[in-house]
Amino acid sequence: MTVREDAIRRPDGSDGIFGVVDKPTAAVVIPLDGDRLHLVEQFRYPVGERRWEFPMGTAPERAEIDPAELAARELAEETGLVAGRMELLGRLDIAPGMSSQREHVFLATELTEGPPSREHQEQDMRAEWCTTAEFERRVRDGEIVDAQTLAAYLLLRLR
């Protein structure tokens, strides 16, 4: 990622500075098997806590690759799952008030299990299946709070 400050001119003519975090395109994958969702949990340094989320990520070295290819790669890397079918559910702007990053949300079905091939910083990642009812209970109870995961789930529910 890169961080920059842009000198801007507001619509009223006044000058200002806008901080921007530039990150490459990301993918979020919702692995769904019947009524079960597959989640991963990992430590998130900026908040100092572990978070349950859908598998997600960006390509290494800030590469821009096809979002469907990126989604399949992240799914296999983090969970070991391979999808027989990937469906684009929609797109998300991660934090448009401060970041240029955009995300593509995919539904992964017809899943085959295999071993994950996690990156070095993901070695402490945990994974589990939960029912949609359990997922929603965990959201209500504040156990799942990742905004990208919650927005992706909304896209699934609206499908």
16 within some domain? no
pLDDT band with cut points at 50, 70 and 90 for residue 62: low
- pLDDT at position 11 over 80: yes
Distance CA 52, CA 138 (A): 10
The CA-atom distances, in angstroms, between 113 and each of 32, 52, 87 are 12, 20, 19
pLDDT of residue 63: 67
Task: Read off the CATH number of the domain in which 119 is found.
Answer: 3.90.79.10
95 within some domain? yes
10 within some domain? no
14 within some domain? no
26-49 confidence digits (pLDDT tens)? 999 999 999 999 999 999 998 999
pLDDT of residue 101: 87
pLDDT band with cut points at 50, 70 and 90 for residue 61: low
Residues 59-65, mean pLDDT to the nearest whole number: 72
68-119 confidence digits (pLDDT tens)? 999 999 999 999 999 999 999 999 998 888 888 899 999 999 999 998 888 7
Domain that holds residue 50: 23-158
pLDDT of residue 120: 73
73 within some domain? yes
Distance CA 106, CA 93 (A): 15
Percentage of the chain lying above the pLDDT 70 cut? 97
Number of independent structural domains in the chain: 1
- Beta-ladder partners of 83: 111
